[in-house]
């Protein structure tokens, strides 16, 4: 059974509230889970102590059992000092999109024609 430590969404429309859970990776996002490990409230300020609360003892237990944290949970664990900070590389992030490239080419062609 492959385990994940992930977020399960709760709360009403436009008022999200997440539970940090240990679940089988085959189960639905908000479906069956094995253990609730904490809560995450994205509506609170980023420096608030109440924004992310985790039972770090149980998180470390599940990590030792082979559970894989999702990207968001891994960032929370890095901030808490539980796991080592991973380097991330997204080289496509700074590349302009298709329409922006077309606009830049059109603008360059227009400037070329004006000269």
- Is residue 103 a part of any domain in this protein? no
- Per-residue pLDDT at 95 exceeds 90: no
Q: The pTM is what? A: 0.74
pLDDT tens-digit readout, 33-92: 999 999 999 999 989 999 999 999 999 999 999 999 999 999 999 999 888 888 878 888
- Per-residue pLDDT at 2 exceeds 80: yes
- Is residue 29 a part of any domain in this protein? yes
- Is residue 41 a part of any domain in this protein? yes
Please give the backbone phi and psi of residue 17, each rounded to the nearest 5 degrees, phi first. -150, 130
Residue 47, domain CATH: 3.30.1320.10
Taking the CA atoms of residue 46, residue 49, residue 51 and residue 55 in that order, the dihedral angle to the nearest 10 degrees is 140
Structural domain boundaries enclosing 56: 3-80
Total count of domains within the chain: 1
């Amino acid at each position: 059974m492959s385990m994940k430590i992930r977020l399960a969404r709760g709360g009403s429309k436009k008022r999200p509230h997440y539970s940090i859970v240990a679940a089988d990776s085959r189960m639905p996002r908000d479906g069956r889970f094995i253990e609730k490990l904490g809560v995450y409230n994205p509506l609170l300020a980023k420096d608030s102590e109440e924004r992310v609360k985790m039972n770090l003892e149980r998180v470390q237990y599940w990590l030792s059992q082979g559970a894989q944290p999702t990207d968001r949970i891994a960032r929370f664990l890095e901030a808490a000092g539980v796991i080592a900070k991973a380097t991330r590389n997204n080289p496509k992030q700074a590349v302009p999109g298709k329409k922006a490239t077309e606009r830049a080419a059109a603008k360059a062609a227009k400037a070329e024609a004006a000269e």
